[in-house]
Structure 1
Amino acid sequence: MTGLRPIGVNIYNTLTRRVQPLAASLDGGHRFGWYSCGPTVYDDAHLGHARSYISQDVLRRVLTTYAPPGTTVDLVQNVTDVDDKIIRRARETGAVAADLAAHFEARFFGDMALLGVTPPSRTLRVTDHMEAIVAYARRIEANGFAYRGGRTGSLYFDSTAYNAGRPAGEAPLQLASEEEPDDVQTAALREKRSSLDFCLWKTAPGMASAGDPTASAARPLPGTEQDPLWASPWGPGRPGWHIECSALTAIGFSAGSDGQGLRLDLHTGGRDLEFPHHANERLQCSVHGFHECSSVPAPLDEWCRHFTHYGPLAVSGQKMSKSLKNFITIQEFLGTEDPARRARIFRLMCLMVHYRSDFEVDPQSLAPEAASGDRQSSPGPFDIAAATDRRIQSFIHQTDALLERYGQALRQEVARVMRPSAGALYASSLTAIGAAPVAGAARQLYATACHTRAAIADCLTNQDLDTVRAVRLVGVLIGEANALLSDCMATLGAGTDPVMVAGLSAGLLPRDALDALRQARAVVGEFCHATGLDYDPRAAGPGASMALAGEGHALASAGPILDSAVQLRAATRQGGLRLMKLTRPACESAAEGEALRAAVRSTAGELLAATDRTRDDLRDRAGVAVRDFPNGASSWQRAAEE
């Protein structure tokens, strides 16, 4: 890397054990290169996976939101679609291994979509790049840092050679590799030179003599669909766990086809991958060669300077995992009743725990049928997140309804057609209630919203993605905004609907109140956007404002359209009524006058009939009841509320 360009976000670097700025390599242009370890697709994903990928998604959204203009966040994620677990599952079910992997890969990305996790920029499957993986391992062997085992002919990383030629300042390897289950590892130890060594290529038993340096590894060998094998110089087999990701980063981020000139700025994954997986990835990339003198390993941080790891989801102090049978799948958690809201609640649960911290949950409290009212214990993470979700949703929907229904365009339009007497009537009601406290609270709320925006940005960009404090700041802002919102609703509740609108158009409700609520709403919306909380701004949420109280989703969305339609109908109806009252048209003869009068009355009748049809259509087809007032104005409400 020739130079680094900070991109405005500071997060924890596992390599240095400090919070440090994320930076893009200058030779990568405006691209920020990010590699994430993806799933091994042999079964459905569970909530432990969901926690990791939601943390990844939040970080990605924050980078996209706050990075300098023009920065492209290039997230590459692998899919391990060949693995011993996949093969064992295929044998158990009688499926073809490749078909099984494809099935669960599709289910994984389907689950991620339900959770609101943005797809990676690029997805690299192991089986699509087997030739590159073989070439990567061959180069490590050619550089003198790998050897063939004496029993199976498998290829192993040579820790002794690395320790002898390690870069200055790097500590010698001391921890044993634990990438295999105990039974496999015990067998491997009989052919490994050191317990520190790990497998780069697993040669199938009895196949070492079939090695062919010239054979293509693009596709599995014929007849091995159930237990897929690929050709290699070390015999038919499969890649080791760690070599896959090292080779795929070279494919995804190298400037040259030989894997050199790597531009990788960030590597992420769950904390359980820190050792041995990521540690061994770094070793492989070091000895793969970055320098002209490839026999000398490159410094470990030259491959990637920044690693970030997410904390696990734990049950009774143990990581959620399939092997411990203490898991709940994403599909089981989401259920079939309002899965979008449950996905949002789980994201809030993740936001309310720091991404590097252990996250302890009770599986029973997460089941779809578990309602907070059915539990006798104190509120848990799900209950707290659900209450926070309701509060945010209610604020967004109430504020949107108020600002939308009494927006500037609508106020101007209604002010043009409403009688001046309506504004005077509304003014008298405001005087009785008193609007001065609203103005004072508005100025305070506006200042709080501006401060909260800056504080949230600081939490997300400078304080190691401190979503916990950011959620608290949003809660404080909503609490203050709700007080002003209630005052506005109480003030607006003084008259009939047309009268309220006329009062707003005359500026009798302080403009500061609307501006402050608009600012608070914007800050909450920016936080939701930066963290992936999806609240449909047009949906009718709990506690909708007095203007939209009791209306369904469709009516809440169509509010401004209905306002315009009802006002147009009212104007048309008034015109028809005036024409009906035109009894003495100026004409030269009585006959002409009578004919003109008949024509006018006919036209008026058609206009009134059209307004009646519009009223009936709104009632029958949209469930909207239109009410006409003696002064010529009209209003609408849900038909069921008549």
Structure 2
Amino acid sequence: MADKPRHPEWTQPQRSDEPVLKVYNSLTKSKTEFIPKKGRNVTWYNCGPTVYDSSHMGHARNYLTQDIIRRILTDYFGYDVHFVMNITDIDDKIIIRARQQYHLDALSANEPTVTQELIDTVHKAWLAYLHKQLTKGLEDKSLVVSGQEESSWANIETLAQDSGWVQAGNARDEKFFMHLKALVSYLFYNLAQSNLDTSSNGLITSSAPVLSPYLDALHLSSPNAAPIPSHLTRALSTYWERAFMRDMDRLGVRRPDTLTRVTEYVPEIVAFVEKIVAREWAYEAGGSVYFDVRAYDGVKGKDKDWEHVYAKLQPHSKNNTALLEEGEGALSSSDSKRSPADFALWKRSKPGEPEWPSPWGPGRPGWHIECSVMASAILGDGMDIHSGGIDLAFPHHDNELAQSEAYHDCQQWVNYFLHTGHLHIEGQKMSKSLKNFITVEDALKMYTSRQLRLAFLAQSWNAKMDFKESLMLEVRSQETVLNNFFALARALVSDEEAAAEKPSTEEPRHNYGDTETELSALLAQTQHAYRIALCDSFNTPEAIQRILELVSRTNIYVARGRSRVNVGVVAHIARWVTEALRVFGLNGEATGTIGWGTDGDNAGGSVDREALLIPYLRTLSGFRDSVRQLAMSGASAKDILKLCDNLRDVDLIPLGVALDDQDDGKALVKLVPPETLIKARDEKLAQAAEKSAKKAAQAEAAKAKQTAKLERGKLSPTEMFRPPNVPEGTYGSWDDRGIPLTDAAGSELPKSRSKKLIKEWEIQSKAHEEWNAWVAAGSK
């Protein structure tokens, strides 16, 4: 009986080492393996903006960078991320801005025309600003003399003409230049004195920087100062929140999964603070509640095998008084604190400030407690990731950690703290006083959102970034390389699909040899290097560089010639490059196609087929008409080829069609943004014009040089040694050729001198012959 057939033995493949995702963790100051608490689910809280003004490039650096990391975790590594972000809509800056605007609006309503009383108010405000603000940046405080402020200001204006003097002031006070600009309102004050009873709008608007703090201080000094209507702070924060979200949308930043606002969580904040007070890690003083750092730091936790620690992120900063005070806000008072390191959990509201009820009296939340409460309310007693700008590390995030771990009595509330690096502009800190302050709106007028994202991808996310023109030139160059590659790949695919629809007598070839094998291997190597880079704490500069190297090698491969290209290999590479860039948010949410995809503004819109096709059909019809006219007139092949060149170089460019001539005589058709083709054509024409002008200038210079040389031969050699061509009395006699024989005294010339004169005569004789020939030829 035959043996029963058996399956052959199967050998299990050996598992290769896979790179492990590691992230730079501010809690360890090193790259640590990323291990979420619950498998593929990631909880993430990101500190959102304090909404009281326009978003700027510092915001773009932070939120766009966080968006890139978030996309990598979700779209590449496949994590399910719950991304929570807050909006800080209760803050000293918001209160001050809303209050000052309220007082300005009230002044405008009460003083619709220029009056002497209004002028006096502006003058008092100007004097107060001069003494309080400008003197901070003055090395010589005696420059401002009480009772002589106008003449003092005249001297300061003269000194301000020296940029070095202004820079020195900025070094002492970073807002020095801004204060100088504000005080220029003195000009409007002087002008207004001769324009009584005219509209007050110009005077109030131009003087707003000095008026608003003065009016606010005046209001607060009143014993019966009432808080401004609460809806005004809400209106201000709502306006700027919407503006922020619009800017983020334009930058392509994904909206958070959960958005929280401080004003929505005040009851929870009160309960949170009560629990910390009950644990004796916070105390009430004068209607405010402060976190007791000394009582908390070093105390055993509930399990007794670990201790609570204050300033986990920046322990070296825990005694930095300046940072501690800055973290408390401009409206805070430290009179009732037990220690300078203690920070406010709840602030007693002062006159003119909004307030909410609490067991300690009317007040409002401290800045640091807001994030702790909202994050805990959504994510519970801990989270995988907390993020924000590096400027928030201390004291904000350290205070946040302390109060949260006090509330939950836990050892580690956050497992991974991700801090984005500082942004500088052309090597300097971004500041209005340095005149390098760039809003997101301003940036988007200069660059596209894709270019800004490419710029951030070119930098390590947690390192300091220098935003400068040379960086953006490099970014534009990279974008052009990618644009051209995508256009090339799409054209090859389209060309091959069109060819497949036509019958062919050619023997089919697979075009998959050693070169294609090497290129496919390079793609696999790049894919692996891309993963290694992203596992290395989201090393996007390395990932982008690897992509560009692959694109460069593919371009070299295609340049061999259309007939030898395996389009399938090129398309495979182009689709992977597209997907790799999509992970970074560079081509919206598009998948499956080659290139950047469709811009969000155009997505979902219906296509007007006639409007789309007519410009192309008119060009085709016009070309046909011209060809027919040339053919009927018996034009030469040269004329027809010139017409074809005109179609390629002139007619099709505004339509975004590029025709690349190939070795096989068939043009490769590419669709490229018209502005790209127009720019390239204009640059080519400019280079040709420059080359032509240079060539013409060289020819003109050569002609002038030749003319000058010929002009020197105009003089007959028989006259060259006779007056007036030499001074009277130089020579006494000459031979029949006009060569001198004796000097003025009748003495025979020395042989050496005669020899020299003969040589000069021969040179001039030859030049004169050339001159005569030139004249005879009619060149003169």
Identify the TM-score tier after normalising by the shorter chain.
Answer: 0.5 to 0.7
For 2:244, the equivalent position in structure 1 comes to 108
Count of paired positions: 468
For 2:587, the equivalent position in structure 1 comes to 534
Deviations, residues 17-62 of structure 1 (Å, cap 9, x unaligned)? 1211222213xx6531000000001011111110111110111111
- 2:350 aligned to 194, 202, 205, which one? 205
SS in 2 for 1:306: strand
- 2:520 aligned to 446, 460, 470, which one? 446
Q: What's the offset of the Cα at 1:534?
A: 1.8
For 2:80, the equivalent position in structure 1 comes to 72
**TM-score, L = length of structure 2:** 0.54
Q: What's the offset of the Cα at 1:238?
A: 1.3
Residues 7 and 228 of structure 1, relative CA distance in 2, 3 Å threshold:
farther
For 1:175, the equivalent position in structure 2 comes to 319
SS in 2 for 1:458: helix
Q: 2:252 is matched by which residue type in structure 1?
A: G
Q: Percent identity?
A: 32
SS in 1 for 2:23: strand
Question: Is residue 483 of structure 1 aligned with residue 495 of structure 2?
Answer: no
Q: What's the offset of the Cα at 1:324?
A: 6.6
Q: What's the offset of the Cα at 1:183?
A: 10
SS in 2 for 1:189: coil
Q: What's the offset of the Cα at 1:315?
A: 3.2
For 1:246, the equivalent position in structure 2 comes to 372
Native 8 Å contact 1:41 1:101 kept in 2 = yes
For 1:215, the equivalent position in structure 2 comes to none
Question: Is residue 329 of structure 1 aligned with residue 439 of structure 2?
Answer: yes
For 2:547, the equivalent position in structure 1 comes to 474
Residues 127 and 618 of structure 1, relative CA distance in 2, 3 Å threshold:
closer
Question: Is residue 360 of structure 1 aligned with residue 434 of structure 2?
Answer: no
4+ runs of 1 displaced by more than 6 Å? 182-187, 535-542, 626-629, 636-639
Deviations, residues 203-235 of structure 1 (Å, cap 9, x unaligned)? 1137xxxxxxxxxxxxxxxxxxx8422111122
For 1:348, the equivalent position in structure 2 comes to 454
SS in 1 for 2:529: helix
Q: 2:289 is matched by which residue type in structure 1?
A: L
For 1:165, the equivalent position in structure 2 comes to 299
Mapping 1:489-508, distance limit 5 Å: 489=562, 491=563
- 1:144 aligned to 280, 285, 296, which one? 280
Report the Cα distance in structure 2 between the residues aligned to 1:525 and 1:191, rounded to whole angstroms. 59
Report the Cα distance in structure 2 between the residues aligned to 1:251 and 1:346, rounded to whole angstroms. 34
Q: What's the offset of the Cα at 1:622?
A: 5.2
**TM-score, L = length of structure 1:** 0.65
Structure (1 or 2) with the larger CA radius of gyration: 2
For 2:97, the equivalent position in structure 1 comes to 89
Residues 540 and 459 of structure 1, relative CA distance in 2, 3 Å threshold:
closer
Q: RMSD over aligned Cα, in angstroms?
A: 3.9
Report the Cα distance in structure 2 between the residues aligned to 1:273 and 1:182, rounded to whole angstroms. 9
Question: Is residue 400 of structure 1 aligned with residue 490 of structure 2?
Answer: yes
Q: What's the offset of the Cα at 1:411?
A: 4.8
Residues 187 and 60 of structure 1, relative CA distance in 2, 3 Å threshold:
closer
For 2:769, the equivalent position in structure 1 comes to none
For 1:308, the equivalent position in structure 2 comes to 418
Q: What's the offset of the Cα at 1:170?
A: 5.1
Native 8 Å contact 2:298 2:307 kept in 1 = no
SS in 1 for 2:418: strand
Report the Cα distance in structure 2 between the residues aligned to 1:518 and 1:33, rounded to whole angstroms. 37
Q: What's the offset of the Cα at 1:160?
A: 2.0
- 1:188 aligned to 333, 337, 358, which one? 333
* Structure 2 portions without partners, runs of 5+: 1-17, 106-231, 312-317, 597-601, 628-643, 658-780
Deviations, residues 504-524 of structure 1 (Å, cap 9, x unaligned)? xxxxx56xx212212221221
Question: Is residue 58 of structure 1 aligned with residue 98 of structure 2?
Answer: no
Q: What's the offset of the Cα at 1:449?
A: 1.1
Native 8 Å contact 1:65 1:530 kept in 2 = yes
* Structure 1 portions without partners, runs of 5+: 1-5, 207-225, 255-261, 291-297, 366-379, 492-508, 543-552, 563-613, 630-635
- 1:267 aligned to 383, 386, 392, which one? 386
Report the Cα distance in structure 1 between the residues aligned to 2:233 and 2:95, rounded to whole angstroms. 6
- 1:516 aligned to 544, 552, 569, which one? 569
Report the Cα distance in structure 1 between the residues aligned to 2:452 and 2:328, rounded to whole angstroms. 37
Q: What's the offset of the Cα at 1:404?
A: 3.3
Residues 196 and 48 of structure 1, relative CA distance in 2, 3 Å threshold:
same
Q: 1:239 is matched by which residue type in structure 2?
A: P
For 1:125, the equivalent position in structure 2 comes to 261
SS in 2 for 1:201: strand
- 1:385 aligned to 475, 478, 499, which one? 475
